[in-house]
């Protein structure tokens, strides 16, 4: 059973100044893969071992998981992987904005906490402002990968991403869901789901050349889509 926290609680609203790539990695000039909601970091740690020419950063809101994961990252001695504690919607935007051009080359959001009810929409990890910060940091052709085992979780992420107009799916990918994981290392949740022979819903996007939309307009359109007006029946 997954344990998740309420990101809107006061404790998680404190902005944190995240370390720069120069403080995190031995070779900060390398491209960065950012994994948002990395849990124990098994995926990001495995990717770092397989891809020493990349830097890998996991962020996670559950501090006990971060403590163990970042200890493993530091003990690996590779110098290309770290795991940080933060609320992605509070602390990541300024970090992304400060990155050098094209330093960030891949972002993944894998099996986020299942806040799928409409009244919990503000607790979802992929919010309009964070998506736009990701889009601003990614150059055309760079990747955003989303996956979940819960349709009601991934569908709002897909809807928001496509509403932004900033991302395009590869033409060769199956619709509505990609058949396989483009990352060579699965998360712990993915392994668990696949062992149970349950479906995983995946979408790969690439940043296109469209400009960022107006943030307020995107928020308004997403609310309209996520909260459609209820039909009212009256007697005649």
Q: Among residues 35, 70, 113, 149, which one is catalytic?
A: 113
Tens digit of each residue's pLDDT (9 = 90 or more) over 85-137: 999 999 999 999 999 999 999 999 999 975 455 544 556 789 999 999 999 99
Identify the helix (H) or strand (E) that includes residue 143.
Answer: strand 143-148
Tokens of 127: 């919010």
Domains and CATH numbers, the chain: 10-225 (3.40.50.150)
Quote the pLDDT of residue 234: 38
The more confidently predicted of residues 235 and 159 is: 159
Would you say 84 and 18 are in contact if contact means Cβ atoms under 8 Å apart?
A: yes
Using CA atoms, how far apart are residues 113 and 153, in angstroms rounded to an integer?
8
DSSP state of 7: T
Give this prediction's pTM: 0.90
Angle between helices 128-137 and 151-164 (to 10 degrees): 60
Confidence of residue 207 (pLDDT cuts 50, 70, 90): very high
Give the residue-averaged pLDDT of 58-68. 93
Give the residue-averaged pLDDT of 135-161. 96
In the chain, where does DSSP find H-type helix? 21-24, 42-50, 63-76, 88-97, 128-137, 151-164, 188-195, 215-226
Using CA atoms, how far apart are residues 113 and 37, in angstroms rounded to an integer?
8
Q: Based on the number of CB atoms within 10 Å of its own CB, is 123 exposed (0-12), middle (13-18) or buried (19 or more)?
A: buried
Using CA atoms, how far apart are residues 70 and 39, in angstroms rounded to an integer?
11
113 belongs to the catalytic site: yes
Of the candidates 148, 126, 158, 143, the one whose C-alpha atom is nearest the C-alpha of residue 201 is 148
Mean pLDDT score of the chain: 89
Quote the pLDDT of residue 16: 85
Strand order in the sheet with 81-85: 81-85, 55-60, 32-36, 104-110, 143-148, 201-207, 167-168
Q: Based on the number of CB atoms within 10 Å of its own CB, is 116 exposed (0-12), middle (13-18) or buried (19 or more)?
A: middle
Other CB atoms closer than 10 Å to residue 119's CB: what's the count? Answer: 8
């Amino acid at each position: 059973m997954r344990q998740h926290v309420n990101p809107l609680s006061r404790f998680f609203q404190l902005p944190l100044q995240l370390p720069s790539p120069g403080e995190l990695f031995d070779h900060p000039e390398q491209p960065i893969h950012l994994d948002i909601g990395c849990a124990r970091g098994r995926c990001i740690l495995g990717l770092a071992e397989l891809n020493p020419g990349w830097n890998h950063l996991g962020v996670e809101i559950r501090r006990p998981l971060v403590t163990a994961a970042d200890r493993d990252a530091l003990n690996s001695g590779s110098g290309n992987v770290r795991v940080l504690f933060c609320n992605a919607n509070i602390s990541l935007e300024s970090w992304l904005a400060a990155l050098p051009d094209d330093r960030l080359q891949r972002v993944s959001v894998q099996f986020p906490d299942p806040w799928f009810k409409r009244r919990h929409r503000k607790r979802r990890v992929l919010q309009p402002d964070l998506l736009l910060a990701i889009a601003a940091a990614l150059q055309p052709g760079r990747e955003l990968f989303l996956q979940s085992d819960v349709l009601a979780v991934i569908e709002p992420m897909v809807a928001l991403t496509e509403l932004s107009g900033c991302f395009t799916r590869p033409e060769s990918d199956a619709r509505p869901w990609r058949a396989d994981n483009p990352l060579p290392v699965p998360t712990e949740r993915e392994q668990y789901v696949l062992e149970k022979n349950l479906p995983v819903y995946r979408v790969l996007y690439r940043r296109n050349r469209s400009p960022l939309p107006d943030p307020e307009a995107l928020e308004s359109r997403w609310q309209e889509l996520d909260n459609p007006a209820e039909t009212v029946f009256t007697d005649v």
